[in-house]
Amino acid sequence: MKKNQQTTHLFILALLLLSNVGLCKSLKDTCYTGLYLKNIYDMRPDEYACTADYWIWFNYKDSVQDPLENVEIINAKQTAYTDQYHTKDLKGMLVANESGRVTLTHNWELENYPFDKQSFNIQVEAGLDTSKMVLVPCERPFRIYKDLNMPGWTILSSKINQRLVTYDSDFGESRLHGRSTFSRIIYVVNAKRNGWGLFFKLILGVYVSFFVAYLVFFLPPANEQRFSLSLGALFAAVANKYVTDSNIPTSISFSFIDQVHVFTFVFILATLVLSVISLRIDKSGKHKKSKDFNRLCIWIVPAAYFMLNAVLILLADNG
């Protein structure tokens, strides 16, 4: 009798263990994920947004947990899905895929505008914690349409980042004890703006202002037009700054365009100061010394200005 009871207990224990193993397997599913990027467009820096069209798919086993219903793009402002499709592959894995259009939240880094580089990303996160669903990149996880055209941009590279994200909340599931972890896959496209044409459109006015101010060194030191030229050039450069600011994306940082304008202001003011120095030398009776001073300024001022320009452009273009 005692042996029969022990045998019964062992049998019940074995059944419980098997049922727990089966339950764990049914609760957790590994979804092999891939994304095909069709387009990126509608760039809106002032709204911190851009739009992407894509095709996404999942290979999984648990038919109860449909990834199309349990996965979200967490950096999306607005999403729209079409062409949802379910099937099985040759290995018996379930396949779910759909076409999507998403307006993405994007933090535009405009310090080097118009030579800026941007990392556009689509962040796909499981809606179930890691005890139920884990996202893993599939064999060929990320492809970009070969004819994708981003006017004014050049695509530099693409990559995938995979990570686990832990939140300090169990979202109402007490079994998680106040913390929950979700898997996330980030599809990244690195692109660079083709900014040379835009750069000259924005900066041409300020370069002309500097050139006008530079002409003072070709006038006699006592010529009153020297001061008029410098002051007129300064007002023109300031006006160009206001026009430029109204035609570029807003940025709270001290951008490359701001730097070009500010040091141009400084150089134009320098022509005014140098004119005063040249005039004082001339009025002291040292006419030859005043002329030599002007000749020196003719070479040094533009050389310093354009060297500083070149350095700033190189830093922005390679930033």
| pLDDT digits 0-9 by tens, 180-189 | 999 999 999 9
* Residue 252: band (very low, low, confident or very high) from pLDDT cuts 50, 70, 90: confident
pLDDT at 169 over 80: yes
Domains of the chain by range and CATH? Answer: 27-192 (2.70.170.10), 196-317 (1.20.58.390)
pLDDT digits (tens, 9 = 90+) for 38-90: 999 999 998 999 999 999 999 998 877 889 999 999 999 999 999 999 999 88
* Average of per-residue pLDDT across 26-45: 87
Mean pLDDT check: name the lowest of 7-21, 39-53, 271-285: 7-21
Give the span between the Cα atoms of 58 and 86, in whole angstroms: 10
Extract the runs of DSSP E, i.e. beta strands, from the chain.
29-44, 49-60, 71-73, 76-88, 94-105, 117-126, 133-144, 153-167, 180-193
Whole-model pTM: value is 0.80
* Residue 28: band (very low, low, confident or very high) from pLDDT cuts 50, 70, 90: low
